Amino acid sequence: MSTAADPSIPAPPPGCPFNAEFLPPNLRKHVDPNAPVPLRMMAAKSLVPLNPADMLGALYMLTFDPDANVRETAAKTSSGLPDRILGSALRDEGVQPPVLGYFLGLLKDKEAYAEMLVLNSETPDDAVASVAGTCSPKVAEIISQNQLRLLRNEDIIRGLCANPGVPVSLVDSVCDFAVRSGLVLADVPAMQAARVRIYGPQAAAAPPDPGPTAEEVLQELGTEAQAEDAAPMEEGKRMTLAQRIMKMSIAEKIKLGTLGNKEARSALIRDTNKLVCVAVIRSPRITDGEVLACAANRAINEDVLRVIYNNREWTKMQKVKLALVKNPKVPLTVTMKFLNTLRDAELKDLSRDKNVPAAVQSFAKKLHEKKTAPKQAPGGK
pLDDT tens figures, 18-28: 999 999 999 99
Write down the pLDDT at residue 281: 96
Burial of residue 154 (CB within 10 Å: 0-12, 13-18, 19+) is buried
- DSSP code per residue over 221-272: HGGGGT-TTSPPPPHHHHHHHHHHHHHS-HHHHHHHHHHS-HHHHHHHTT-S
Cα–Cα distance, 323 to 297 (Å, whole number)? 8
Percent of the chain with pLDDT over 90: 69
Q: Compute the CA torsion angle 108, 112, 113, 114 (nearest 10 deg).
A: 40
Percent of the chain with pLDDT over 70: 92
- Residue from 219, 86, 140, 162 nearest 149 by CA: 140
Write down the pLDDT at residue 232: 65
Cα–Cα distance, 127 to 123 (Å, whole number)? 7
Of the pLDDT bands very low, low, confident and very high (cuts 50, 70, 90), residue 379 is low
Report the chain's mean pLDDT, rounded to a whole number.
Answer: 90
161, 173 Cβ separation under 8 angstroms: no
Task: Give φ, ψ of 347 to 5 degrees.
Answer: -65, -40
- Range from 104-118, 119-133, 245-259, 340-354 carrying the lowest mean pLDDT: 340-354
Cα–Cα distance, 29 to 9 (Å, whole number)? 9
> Is pLDDT of 377 > 60?
no
Residues in Cβ contact with 231 at an 8 Å cutoff, skipping those fewer than 6 apart: 224
Q: What is the mean pLDDT of residues 334-341?
A: 90
Q: Taking the CA atoms of the chain, what radius of gyration do you get in angstroms?
A: 25
208-219 core/surface letters (b: 16 or more CB in 10 A; e: else): eebbbbbeebbe
Rounded to two decimals, the pTM is: 0.84
Cα–Cα distance, 286 to 280 (Å, whole number)? 7
Q: How far is CA 174 from CA 130, 151, 190, 199, in A?
A: 17, 10, 10, 16
Q: What is the mean pLDDT of residues 333-346?
A: 89
- Range from 54-58, 75-79, 208-212 carrying the lowest mean pLDDT: 208-212
> Is pLDDT of 324 > 50?
yes
86, 55 Cβ separation under 8 angstroms: no
Q: How far is CA 269 from CA 100, 273, 326, 344, in A?
A: 27, 9, 20, 33
217, 248 Cβ separation under 8 angstroms: yes
Of the pLDDT bands very low, low, confident and very high (cuts 50, 70, 90), residue 219 is confident
Of the pLDDT bands very low, low, confident and very high (cuts 50, 70, 90), residue 13 is very high
Write down the pLDDT at residue 78: 97
